[in-house]
Structure formats: C-alpha cells, structure tokens
Chains A and B, each alone.
Chain A
Amino acid sequence: DIQMTQSPSSLSASVGDRVTITCRASQSISTYLNWYQQKPGKAPKLLIYVASSLQSGVPSRFSGSGSGTDFTLTISSLQPEDFATYHCQQTYSTPLTFGGGTKVETK
C-alpha cells in the first residue's frame, strides 16, 4: 500500500498569510494526487486534481504542485473561509490512500 504523509498536521495562520501544506508518498505516484478541503460536518470538497489542476469554481489563490513523491498545496493569501482541514489522496493505485489531514486554524 502507498502511504501518504501530510505535514504539518496543524498550523496557525492569519488572514492574508501564504500557507503551504506538503504531502509525501511512500513511492512514486506520478501526478495522481488530489487535494480536498473539509469543513466540520461537511463532505470533502475537491480543490486540486492530478497534482496541479484547479477544480472548476475553486479560487485561484489555491494551487498545487509536485510529481513523483512530493507534493504541495499552496494558499497564496489565506481568507476567512479557508480555515478548514485539508487532505491529500493518491489515485495511483488501490487502496486509494489519504494523508492524515492538515488543520488550518486561526492564529
């Protein structure tokens, strides 16, 4: 199974900050990597697919990069509605494993 390691597990940030979250795969997954945002009591919402493609309707302040084993989700200027938990998922092979999540909290 491919292990996905997200870091940090949580972070504190302020509105306007640049936020970077990383996800590392235990083996190469090419660009088969999705990023999701989840708010309490809600379903995950797709932000980025195949590592860097922005899902329709998602603000351009979100961006993704990486290939192989190392991936990054960047929020260029954190907005109030961005405080949430972020998850990565590899879609390279089953089981389609998720990272442990990163909770973005207000500083």
Chain B
Amino acid sequence: EVQLVESGGGLVEPGGSLRLSCAASGLTFSNYWMHWVRQAPGKGLVWVSRISPDGSITNYADSVKGRFTISRDSAKNTLYLQMNSLGAEDSAVYYCSARTSRTSPDYWGQGTLVTVSS
C-alpha cells in the first residue's frame, strides 16, 4: 500500500522558515515525480512545486519562487520543502503527491498544516 506522510507543519512567525517532509513508502520512490500542493483554509488547491525522479529538475509556482526549495533524499524515501520568508499568504495545508508521469494516477498524503502568524 502506498503511503505518503507529511510532517513539519506548525505555527511560524512572519518572515520565518519551516521545512516540511513527506515520507514515502509502498512505492519505488526513485520512479516518481513528487509534488507539493497547498490549500488555504476554505480555498481551492494550488500547485506549489515539483521535482523529477532523479532530482535534476525542479519547478515552482511564481508565488513561491526564490523562497521555497524542493528536494528529495532517495536513501530516505523522503521529499522536502524548505520554506523561507514566510508570509500570511503561505498559511495552508500542504500536501505531497506522487506520480510517475503526467498521464499516470497519483497518490496523496494527508497533509500538514502551516500557520504563519505573530
């Protein structure tokens, strides 16, 4: 059974940093494109970032470019999202997802909540 488990969310002050993790199991991690998607309270889904199976390609939404960094550790089957210079607009549930290609089904984690507030 595929499992994606996010962690690392919490309360952080504006301007602060946070690193999210997504531990993957039940799949061959090195075959999957990994994504972060976020959802502010009561709002829709917003794609944040993705990383290629070998980590060589990364893409970001304009709203986080230059502030967020996606990375992965294949030895630990774990995806990361380093978030810097956080603002209130970054408050959301952050989900990780995995798919082998843009035409394949995907898997999602349960999400981790990030709240940016003083």
Contact = CB atoms under 8 A, between A and B. Distances in A.
Given A43-B95, A94-B50, A95-B61, A87 B108 contact: no
B87 interface: no
Interface centre among A45, A50, A92, A96 (most CB of B within 10 A): A96
B77 to A, nearest CB: 19
Interface in B55-93: 59, 61-62
B45 A101 contact: yes
A96 B103 contact: no
Nearest to A88: B45
B50 A50 contact: no
B46 interface: yes
Interface string B31-57: 000010100000011110010000000
Contacts of B59: 94-95
Contacts of A50: 103
Interface centre among A1, A32, A43, A91 (most CB of B within 10 A): A43
A68 interface: no
- A-side interface size class: 20 to 34
Contact of A32 (B46, B102, B108, B110): B102
Interface in A88-106: 89, 91-92, 94-101
Contacts, number: 53
B105 A98 contact: no
A87 B102 contact: no
B95 A44 contact: yes
Given A34-B106, A44-B108, A46-B105, A89 B47 contact: yes
Nearest to B99: A91
Contact of B102 (A55, A92, A99): A92
Given A44-B45, A50-B103, A95 B108 contact: no
B23 to A, nearest CB: 15
Given A32-B102, A95-B59, A96-B50, A43 B44 contact: no
A96 B97 CA distance: 12
